[in-house]
Structure 1
C-alpha cells in the first residue's frame, strides 16, 4: 500500500511539472503564425510522400504533409515512404492524437485535484487508471527525449559534396548553403543557392504585406492557394501577421533531382525572424513579440528547365 502511495506521489509530481509546461507549449504554438502557419504544405513531385534526407541543418525527419493536392498512387508517384514527426503527427492520426492529448490532460487535472483518470470508480479501476497514467507520462517523456536526441544529432557538414560545392565555404560560419547528405543527381550551383535565400526573404515579405499577386510570382499555384486561405482566416479574425528581419542562419541541400523537364530541390533552412500578429484595426499585439525567433524548415523549390525557381512546399522539422 505504501509503495502504491509513493508511486502516486511521484506521478502527481510529474503531472504538476507537465501541467505547468503545457500552457507555455500552447503559447509558443499559437505564436507560430508565420507563412505556412506551422504546417507542412505543398508537393514535391514524385517524392511528395518520401521524407527528404536529413541534413546537418535539419538532422531529424521532416514532417509529412498536412496539405497537398498530390494523391498517393497517382501517375509518377512512388510508394509512400516512412516519415518522422512522432506518433501523433502521422497521417490519419490527427483525431486520435487529439483524443489522446485530451485524455492525458484530463488525467493530469484529475491527479492535480486529488483524483485520477478513473477517480471515483475505486478498486481495480483505480489501479488500471494509475497504470494508464504512468504509461502516458512515459510516452511523453520518450517523445521529449527522442526530440532532444534528434536536436543534438550531428552530421558531416560536407558529406556527399558534389563537384563545385567548394564555393559554399561560408557554410562553416552558418551564413550560407552547403551540400547536405545524400547524392544530388541535379547539380545545384551557387546562383541557385542565392535564389533560394532570396526567395526566403521575398516570400516572407509578400506574406507580411498580404500581397497575393506577388506571391503568385514566387510560389506555385498550390502554395498560393494555401497562403490565400490562411490570409483570409487572419482577416476573418481581424488579425494581420507581420514578419520582418528575416535572416538565413544556416542551410544545406537535402536532395535535388529532375523529373522530365522539371527540376526540384529540397533545402533545409534555419533562419531567424520577428514574427508577430497584431489586431488589424487597433494595432494591438495578439501573439509573438519584437524579439527574433528561430525556425528550421525544409523548403522545396521547383522550376521548369531554364526558368526561375518557385516555392512548391514547406515542411516542418
Structure 2
C-alpha cells in the first residue's frame, strides 16, 4: 500500500509540474594644434560632424566624438537571383499542447491529483474500517487490486493522450512570406530596413577661392588656439567644434600648460570629397603644413628647467590632418570636423 501511494504521488507531481515547466519555457525564451598638440586632452582626436557622411570611411581615422548619431548597420539585400538555402529563415518549432494551454493542463493535473488522492485515501479508510470489523485481509487485497487497476488505466490514458497530441498532430504550415533580406533593391521593403534616413547628396565643385579660405582658416584657428581665445575661435568653427576646443583649453588650464602653434605654412591641400546636402555644403580636405608646435608650462619662465614640456619652439614640424569644412548656402566656411 505504501508503494502504491509513492507511485501515485509521483504521478500527481508529474501532472502538476509539467504545466509549470511548459509555462516557464514559453515565457523564457601627430599633428599640430588642437587635435595633435593637446595630446593630454581627452577631447582631442577625431571629432566633429560631416553631415550624413560623418561615420563614412574616407581614408582617415573614423570620427570618435560627434553630435551626429551613428546609424545602425543594416545588412544590404542580396543581389543573387535565388537566395541560398542558408539564407532561408528557420521555421520556429511549434509549442506542445501543454505549452499552448498551460491553464487547461494545470486544471487537468489538479483534477487528476484530486481524483487519485480521493481514491487512495478512500481505499485506506475503507481498509481501516474493515480491519476493525475483523475482515482486514480480504478488503486490503481488494483495495490493492483496485489501485493496481487504477494505475494501469492511468498509464493507458497517458499513452493515448500522448499519441493523439504528439503523433497525430498535424504540422503547422511554414509561412515564410517576403522578408527584408529577400527584398529587391530599391523596393519599399528594402528602404524600410534602413535605420536612419540619409539625405540625398550631390557633388560640389571647389574653387581656388575656396582653397584660399581653407588655408586662411588653418592659420586663424591655430592662432586663436595658441592665444586660448574662444571669442575669436567661434568665428571660425561650428558650435560643436567650439565645445571641443573649450573643453581642451579648460583641461590645459587645469594642468598649467599651453599648446602653441606658430608660423603656420600650408604645404598642400588635397580635396578628398565635397558635396551638398539640403542647404549645407561640405568639403573634406587633407591639409599638410609645417609649424612650430610646442607645449610649455605656465608656471615656468622661458629658459627655466621644465618650461618646455613637448615639441620645439625653434624647429618647425610637419603635420598632416583631414579637416572638414561646412557652410550654409554659399556663406563662409567653418571648421566642422578634424580627423587624423
User: In the aligned structure 1, how far is the partner of 2:326 from the partner of 2:74?
Assistant: 21
Tell me by how many angstroms 1:312 deviates. 0.1
Match of 1:287 in 2: 310
Q: Does 1:305 align with 2:323?
A: no
Tell me by how many angstroms 1:281 deviates. 2.5
Contact 2:260 2:294 in 1 (8 A): yes
User: In the aligned structure 1, how far is the partner of 2:254 from the partner of 2:311?
Assistant: 19
Match of 2:49 in 1: 43
Tell me by how many angstroms 1:247 deviates. 0.8
Tell me by how many angstroms 1:255 deviates. 0.5
Tell me by how many angstroms 1:38 deviates. 5.7
Deviations 1:255-295 (A, max 9, x none): 00001110000000111111111111313111111211111
Larger radius of gyration: 2
Match of 1:69 in 2: 67
TM-score by length of 1: 0.51
Q: Which runs of 4+ in 1 moved over 6 A?
A: none
Distance 1:285 1:258, change over 3 A: same
User: In the aligned structure 2, how far is the partner of 1:43 from the partner of 1:277?
Assistant: 27
Contact 2:326 2:336 in 1 (8 A): yes
Match of 1:253 in 2: 271
SS in 1 for 2:52: helix
Runs of at least 5 residues in structure 2 that lack an aligned partner in the other structure: 1-29, 76-201, 302-306
SS in 1 for 2:209: helix
Contact 1:72 1:79 in 2 (8 A): no
Please, which of 207, 216, 222 is the counterpart of residue 225 of structure 2?
207
Contact 1:69 1:222 in 2 (8 A): yes
Tell me by how many angstroms 1:69 deviates. 1.3
Contact 2:44 2:248 in 1 (8 A): no
Match of 2:208 in 1: 190
Deviations 1:120-171 (A, max 9, x none): xxxxxxxxxxxxxxxxxxxxxxxxxxxxxxxxxxxxxxxxxxxxxxxxxxxx
Tell me by how many angstroms 1:185 deviates. 1.4
Please, which of 262, 268, 282 is the counterpart of residue 264 of structure 1?
282
User: In the aligned structure 2, how far is the partner of 1:218 from the partner of 1:206?
Assistant: 9
Match of 1:33 in 2: 37
SS in 2 for 1:302: strand
Distance 1:226 1:38, change over 3 A: closer
Contact 1:240 1:280 in 2 (8 A): yes
Task: Map 1:89-128; keep pairs closer than 5 Å.
Answer: none
User: In the aligned structure 2, how far is the partner of 1:220 from the partner of 1:200?
Assistant: 14
User: In the aligned structure 1, how far is the partner of 2:276 from the partner of 2:267?
Assistant: 27
User: In the aligned structure 2, how far is the partner of 1:244 from the partner of 1:47?
Assistant: 32
Contact 2:281 2:330 in 1 (8 A): no
Tell me by how many angstroms 1:210 deviates. 0.4
Task: Map 1:122-137; keep pairs closer than 5 Å.
Answer: none
Contact 1:34 1:243 in 2 (8 A): no
TM-score by length of 2: 0.48
Deviations 1:183-203 (A, max 9, x none): x81111111000000000000
User: In the aligned structure 2, how far is the partner of 1:69 from the partner of 1:279?
Assistant: 32
Distance 1:275 1:238, change over 3 A: same
Tell me by how many angstroms 1:215 deviates. 0.7
Task: Map 1:11-26; keep pairs closer than 5 Å.
Answer: none
